[in-house]
Amino acid sequence: MAGAILKDRLHVAGLLAARGASALWRLSMAPWRLMTGLRQRPPERLLIAPQDIRTSDPTLAADIYAGYFAFGGKIVNAHGRSPFELEPRSEAWARALSSFSWLRHLRAADTAIAKANARALVEDFLTASGKPGHGPAWEPRTAARRLLSWLSQSPIILHGADRVFYRRFMKSIGRTEQFLERKLAEGLAGEDRLIVAVALVELGLCAEGAGKLLQRSTRLLAEELQRQILPDGGHVSRNPQILIDLLLDLLPLRQTYAARGVQPPSQLLNAIDRMMPMLRLFRHGDGTLALFNGMGVTPPEQLATVLAYDDVRARALTNAPHSGYQRLEMQDAIVIVDAGRPPPPIFSTRAHAGCASFEFSVGAQRLVLNCGSPDANRATAQEAARMTAAHSTLVVDDTSSCRFAFHVGLRKWLGDEIVSGPDPVDVERRDEASGSTLVIQHNGYEPRFGLIHQRRLALHRDGKWLDGADRLRASGPAGSMERRPFALRFHIHPNVRLKRVREGHAVLCVLPNGRRWLFETLWMAEIEESIFFAAPDGPRACAQIVIEGETEDDLEIAWSFRQLEKKKRDAAPEG
């Protein structure tokens, strides 16, 4: 155990050393970045406008014209002033405002007033925040999103514009290009680097005389897709939401290459083809996505839009070893399991400590789930949602299987990253005529408690029986393990009613459609409060089934979920 703790500390020290080296490198590159900015000239003309495939609502154009700006869970009434002059309600609100993704609603309205309003609001931004500076408006991700929005919505922005505004608009686009390229030269990393690459490629395709920009940004795009999209189609962050967001950008980009008659990089085409079946792996019978590693409310309109571009209607992946996910599916029963390590630190800012957690749905009914990720305005809740206790798995001593930077006093240097977690995670899968069985083993509790957690899940072929067992064993010599409390948690969807039966050794689960499932165990099962963050109308109270005890040598907790037939739906009440 001492060796594991030492390894953990050396890992954290290595992360800090890498950050320091990166800072020194950025400082040394400052003169080169300055020269890069001086050499570039802004584009003079846009040739095409890419399609924005995100759904739009023309009724929102009237709200924006009336001065109501609803972003990031906050509604602001500008009272006749420019929204860019107001004190932002939150950073999330400021980012959404400055990204200009809402311009698509004005374009959908297709009225003279909406077009004039779009140009006026862009002009307001150019006046208030047109030059790179500090704050959310000039974060690389926000600047890239703004560039993408301005390119796709340029027809309404430039409708009826005079030459003075046109030149000012193009100069701002050129300034944004220079800013993003400087950020890349400074070592911008993570998901933001890919988003910036997409924005620069799109500009290279849309602007006249931007051939050199297109060449270097296409190389960057190919490199980042190769690095960030794993062989099974998952994103390196392991966040299902990022697959949706990326496909909403990559699909129009593919169309833009075709519109200009330019051959897209093979990495782009291959990434899209791999991401579609991976996205389906996360999909439950009701159309929502499983709640792992930063996934919150499923945006149904976005998901439907993306899947409509899946020409081959690829089947869902069942085994995604590179992304660390497994899917068991029998009849109308679906089990989706987190069976992977934490993502690399730079991609882990939204990742959760949910190794070996699972979600279980039957038809269009969700039964077992994870708590999900709340919106950006709930910082404290976001931290709680990342803990292992917010997932349907086993927790030792109320401690997560991953260590977060904010829990070890390193948030100033490492932000919200995960600094250590399960490594390795061993997975064994068997698909047989009788059903599918999955065995997962991870060492997330070994550094602190000397324990290995193993979980077995078996979904029977009729889809009416899910068998499970969680085992804790000491990684050291027999008898060396210190006794610790544990809790085995099964978070239940808010629409499912629970009732303890069979003297506390079972829980009756009544689904909204009337189906009844019985959770059974030899241990005492309690019903406790929980919270579901991924409801479309905001967080909702729900319940969880909890088995508690103390660790001991080679401890095993067996349990099952079994559908009750009509003739067996007379389970005895508690007591």
Cα 38 from Cα 434, distance rounded (Å):
68
In this structure, the answer to whether residues 388 and 289 fall within a common structural domain is no
pLDDT at residue 312 in the model: 67
Residues 265 and 376 placed together within one structural domain of the fold: no
406 vs 358, residue with greater confidence: 358
Question: In the block, which residue shows the tokens 């009544």?
Answer: 510
* Position 513 in a domain: yes
* CA 70 vs CA 52, 304, 309, 375: distances in Å: 20, 23, 29, 14
Are residues 290 and 410 both part of a single domain?
Answer: no
Residues 72 and 165 occupy one common structural domain: yes
318, 335, 368: which is the final residue of a domain? 318
**Which two tokens mark 462?**
């009729």
Ramachandran area for residue 119 (φ above 0: left; ψ -120 to 50: alpha; else beta): alpha
In the prediction, which pLDDT does 477 show?
Answer: 76
Domain presence at residue 222: yes
For tokens 């009272």, the residue is 79
CA distances from 525 to 257, 485, 507 (A): 57, 15, 7
- Segment 113-161, tens digit of pLDDT: 999 999 999 999 999 998 998 889 999 999 999 999 999 999 999 999 9
Last residue of a domain, one of 318, 340, 375: 318
Q: Clarify whether residues 284 and 173 are in a common domain.
A: yes
Instruction: Tell me, yes or no, whether 208 lies in a domain.
Output: yes
Q: How many residues appear in the chain?
A: 575
Whether pLDDT at 5 is above 90? no
In the structure, what pLDDT confidence band is assigned to residue 479 with cuts at 50, 70 and 90?
low
pLDDT above 70: residue 308: yes
Angle between helices 191-206 and 140-152 (to 10 degrees): 30
Cβ burial 285-294 (10 Å sphere, 16+ → b, else e): eeebbbbbbb
Same structural domain, 277 and 412:
no
| Tens-digit pLDDT profile for residues 267-303 | 999 999 999 999 999 999 999 999 999 999 999 999 9
87-106 average pLDDT score: 94
304: domain CATH number is 1.50.10.100
- Residue 337 maps to a domain: no
Residues 349-359: what's their mean pLDDT?
Answer: 97
**Residue 575 pLDDT greater than 90, yes or no:** no
Q: Please indicate, yes or no, if residue 458 is contained in any of the structural domains.
A: yes
Question: What pLDDT is attached to residue 534?
Answer: 94
Lowest mean pLDDT among 103-117, 142-156, 158-172, 366-380: 366-380
Contact 87, 97 (CB under 8 A): no
Residue 41's pLDDT is what?
Answer: 76
Q: How would residue 4 be classed by pLDDT, with cut points 50, 70 and 90? A: very low
435 and 371 within one domain: yes
511: domain range?
358-565
Q: Give percent of the chain with pLDDT exceeding 70.
A: 91
Q: What's the rounded Cα separation, in Å, for the pair 527 and 498? A: 8
Asked if residue 2 belongs to a domain, the reply is no
- Whether residues 549 and 406 fall in one domain: yes
How many domains in the chain?
A: 2
Per the prediction, the chain carries an average pLDDT of 91
432 plus 480 within the same structural domain: yes
DSSP string, 482-500: PP-EEEEEEEE-TT-EEEE
Same domain, 277 and 406: no
Closest CA to 39 of 215, 174, 193: 174
Same domain flag for 407 and 516: yes
| Residue with token string 């571009």 | 309
Residue pLDDT, tens place only, 456-471: 999 999 999 999 999 9
Does residue 5 belong to any structural domain of this protein? Answer: no
Same-domain status, 404 and 292: no
Convert the pLDDT of each residue in 407-451 to its tens digit.
777 777 788 899 999 999 999 999 999 999 999 999 999 999 999
Q: What is the pLDDT of residue 37?
A: 45
Distance of alpha carbon 213 from alpha carbon 226, whole angstroms: 20
Q: Are 278 and 232 in contact (CB under 8 A)?
A: yes
pLDDT digits (tens, 9 = 90+) for 499-551: 999 999 999 999 999 999 999 999 999 999 999 999 998 899 999 999 999 99
Q: What is the H or E stretch that residue 39 is in?
A: helix 30-39
Q: Is residue 3 part of a domain?
A: no
Q: What CATH number is attached to the domain comprising 501? A: 2.70.98.70
State the Cα–Cα distance between residues 548 and 526, nearest whole angstrom: 8
Stronger pLDDT, 356 or 74, i.e. the higher one: 356
